[in-house]
C-alpha cells in the first residue's frame, strides 16, 4: 500500500488519506477507494448509440417518448451533473420527435429547458389530434338572400307598375294579390 501511495500525485494522496484509509491497506482496497474517488462515468459507445438513435415511434405520445429517453440519459451522464443530463435529454428530445413540423418549431424556438420543450410538444400534440376534427366540421355560410323557388315565379302577378290598383294604393294594395291581406289586430 505504501508503494502505491508513493506513485500518486500529492493532491491525490491527500484525498486518499482524507478518506480515512490507512496507509497499510492492501492495494486492492486502495484501488477500490481510488476508483470511487476519481471515477468519471464514461458512457459506453453502445449506450450512447442507443440513446442517440432513439426516435419517437408512430402513435407514441410525447410523454411516453420522454420517459423512454430519460433512463438512458441518466446512464450516459454522471448523476451529479444534472445540467449536462438535461442538455443531452433536451437535444435528443428535439432530434427524436417524429413530426417534422413540431421538430422545426422546437428548433426554431430553441427552448431553454426540457419543461418548455415538453409543454410546446404537448400543445402541438393536442392541436394535431383536433385538426382532423376541425377539417371534418362543415361550416355553413349564408351566401346571400334566399331565392324563391322557381315554381313561385309563375304564380306571381305582373309588375306593380302595370297594375292601376297598385299604383293608386301602393303598399296597401290587396286586391291584385301583390300584398297579403291586412288582418285586424
* Residue 97, pLDDT score: 92
The pLDDT-based confidence of 120 (bands split at 50, 70, 90) is: very high
- What top-level class would CATH report for the domain 45-133? mainly alpha
* Residue 22, pLDDT score: 78
HSE-up (13 A, CA, CB side) for residue 2: 1
Question: Is pLDDT of 119 > 90?
Answer: yes
* Residue 164, pLDDT score: 73
* Residue 181, pLDDT score: 59
* Residue 148, pLDDT score: 55
Mean pLDDT for the stretch of residues 153-180? 63
Contact 91, 111 (CB under 8 A): no
* Residue 84, pLDDT score: 84
Question: How many other CB atoms sit within 10 Å of the CB of residue 62?
Answer: 23
- What residue segments make up the domains of the chain, in order of their start? 2-38, 45-133
Q: Note the pLDDT tens digit of each residue in 133-157.
A: 656 555 555 555 665 555 554 555 5
| Whole-Å CA distances, 22 to 14, 29, 87 | 12, 10, 41
The pLDDT-based confidence of 126 (bands split at 50, 70, 90) is: confident
The pLDDT-based confidence of 91 (bands split at 50, 70, 90) is: very high
Comparing 22-26, 104-108, 155-159, the range with the smallest average pLDDT is 155-159
In eight-state DSSP terms, residue 180 is: P
pTM higher than 0.85 for the full model?
Answer: no
Amino acid at each position: 500500500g505504501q508503494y502505491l501511495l508513493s506513485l500518486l500525485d500529492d493532491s491525490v494522496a491527500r484525498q486518499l488519506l482524507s478518506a480515512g484509509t490507512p496507509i497499510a491497506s492492501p492495494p486492492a482496497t486502495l484501488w477500490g477507494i481510488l476508483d470511487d474517488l476519481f471515477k468519471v462515468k464514461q458512457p459506453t459507445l453502445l449506450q450512447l448509440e442507443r440513446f442517440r438513435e432513439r426516435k419517437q415511434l408512430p402513435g407514441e405520445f410525447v410523454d411516453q417518448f420522454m420517459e423512454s429517453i430519460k433512463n438512458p440519459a441518466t446512464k450516459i451522464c454522471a448523476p451529479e451533473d444534472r445540467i449536462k443530463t438535461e442538455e443531452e435529454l433536451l437535444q435528443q428530445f428535439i432530434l427524436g420527435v417524429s413530426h417534422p413540423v413540431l421538430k422545426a418549431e422546437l428548433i426554431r424556438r430553441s427552448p431553454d429547458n426540457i419543461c418548455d420543450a415538453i409543454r410546446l410538444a404537448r400543445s402541438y400534440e393536442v392541436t394535431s389530434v383536433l385538426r382532423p376534427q376541425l377539417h371534418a366540421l362543415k361550416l355553413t355560410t349564408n351566401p346571400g338572400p334566399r331565392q324563391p323557388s322557381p315554381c313561385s315565379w309563375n304564380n306571381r302577378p305582373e309588375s306593380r307598375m302595370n297594375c292601376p290598383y297598385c299604383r293608386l294604393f301602393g303598399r296597401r294594395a290587396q286586391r291584385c294579390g301583390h300584398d297579403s291581406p291586412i288582418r285586424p289586430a
